[in-house]
Amino acid sequence: MTLTLKTWTEAAEVSEFAIETVGLTRHFGDVLAVENLSLHVPRSSVYGFLGPNGAGKTTTIRMLLGLTRPDRGGIRFFDQSITPANRRAILGRIGAMVETPSLYAHLTGYENLQITQGLLGLHRSKIERALLIVRLEQDAHRLVSAYSHGMRQRLGLALALLAEPELLILDEPTNGLDPAGIQEMRELILGFPSEHGITVFLSSHLLAEIEQLASGIGIIGRGQLLFEGTLEALQRYRRARVVVRVDRPALACDVLREGGWTAVPTDASGLTVYVSEAADIAHAATALVSAGLQLYQLQTVRPSLEDLFLELTRDVHLGAGSGQGSGVSR
């Protein structure tokens, strides 16, 4: 289930979006890569576009940048639809890094930036500025072929920052980086909204990374948007599980199911019950005891956000989670 737009705007007090897509769809032959995607990326925030590999993240980003044409659907940047007339004006406000950074290995870092600077007719000083932000001033005049992976990623980021964009679209910017590199990239990205007023749209397949960076999240799986909202909103979907050990598990299951809970036997003496809050656990326990069962163990297991993410993206959609008995729809 996806949070509705209304909830999102209420929750985040958002009045304006840097990116909005409506029903974005794209096939590749028989494969539906992206289906009916409707994203809303608030201004001056870091938005994490999360999904497993092959979910459609890169295809979505390519459609945003005009590299791949969508079959259906619309895209709006800064409340404007893209037309051939305003395409260049809008792209001028966007900086991007898609998949691996696009670099000329036989040139130096500085020369790479120079090419884009020349193509865009920017002033030379922008090159130094971009290098300073990504901390590559020392290595700017070395050949890119001698760069480490982290330096290449930073140069790619510098290329995206060259024209002083209002919106940065980054496709897995920490891909292949070592922990030090990841931290460096994270610090850079976190600073963009606050220090430069830049909106950052970044994709990743790592929830941990997004948790650290993003204030808003969109989760994509098999080309569909599974969730969009704040991290806190996502937390609310983490329904606790209670592991129960009783003398007669089969009877316990019946009792709980009659009461409207979802109960699943796990082994000879145990079963798992899905509850949504602490009070619920107490009610379940009371029901069991009232039925004459002997309760040996009652243990709450709260799934991590990671488990939740895996569950979500394994083609499972969350039902409306409240109170008792809401099953996980398959």
Minimum CB separation of residue 131 from another protein in Å reads: 17
Q: Which DSSP letter does residue 195 get?
A: I
Query: Is 185 a binder of another protein (CB under 8 A)?
Result: no
Nearer to another protein, 95 or 229 (CB): 95
- Alpha-carbon distance 191 to 263, whole Å? 46
Nearer to another protein, 27 or 317 (CB): 27
Of residues 132-161, which lie at the interface with another protein (CB under 8 A)? 143, 159
Minimum CB separation of residue 37 from another protein in Å reads: 17
Q: Are 46 and 200 in contact (CB under 8 A)?
A: yes
- Measured from the Cβ of residue 180, the count of other Cβ atoms closer than 10 Å reads 9
Of residues 96-115, which lie at the interface with another protein (CB under 8 A)? 96, 98-100, 102-107, 111, 114-115
Among 1, 23, 66, 302, binds another protein (CB under 8 A): 66
Helix 125-133 × helix 149-161 angle, to 10°:
130
The stretch among 45-53, 87-95, 190-198, 203-211 that binds another protein (CB under 8 A) is 87-95
Nearer to another protein, 71 or 311 (CB): 71
Helix (H) or strand (E) holding 127: helix 125-133
Minimum CB separation of residue 150 from another protein in Å reads: 17
Minimum CB separation of residue 191 from another protein in Å reads: 23
Closest alpha carbon to 254 in 246, 102, 191: 246
Amino acid identity at 178? D
Measured on CA atoms in the order 25, 26, 32, 37, is the torsion positive or negative?
Answer: negative
Nearer to another protein, 152 or 241 (CB): 152
Minimum CB separation of residue 18 from another protein in Å reads: 16
Nearer to another protein, 59 or 262 (CB): 59
Minimum CB separation of residue 115 from another protein in Å reads: 5
Minimum CB separation of residue 197 from another protein in Å reads: 19
Q: Are 283 and 260 in contact (CB under 8 A)?
A: no
Residue with tokens 């994490």: 48
Q: Are 47 and 200 in contact (CB under 8 A)?
A: yes
Q: Concatenated DSSP letters for 239-262?
A: --EEEEEES-HHHHHHHHHHTT-E
Query: Is 123 a binder of another protein (CB under 8 A)?
Result: no
Among 5, 82, 91, 305, binds another protein (CB under 8 A): 91
Residues in contact with 49: Cβ distance below 8 Å, sequence separation at least 6, in sequence order: 39, 57, 60, 61, 201, 202, 203, 204, 217, 218, 220
Query: Is 252 a binder of another protein (CB under 8 A)?
Result: no
Among 38, 68, 175, 272, binds another protein (CB under 8 A): 68
- The 3-state DSSP composition of the chain as helix, strand, coil percent (nearest 5) reads 35, 25, 35
The stretch among 9-17, 65-73, 284-292, 310-318 that binds another protein (CB under 8 A) is 65-73
Residues touching another protein: how many (CB under 8 A)?
33
Among 40, 62, 239, 241, binds another protein (CB under 8 A): 62
Query: Is 92 a binder of another protein (CB under 8 A)?
Result: yes
Beta bridge partners, 217, equal 48, 229
Amino acid identity at 128? E
Minimum CB separation of residue 284 from another protein in Å reads: 54
Instruction: Kindly list the residues in this chain that would bind another protein in the complex (CB under 8 A).
Output: 62, 65-69, 87-92, 94, 96, 98-100, 102-107, 111, 114-116, 118-120, 143, 159, 163
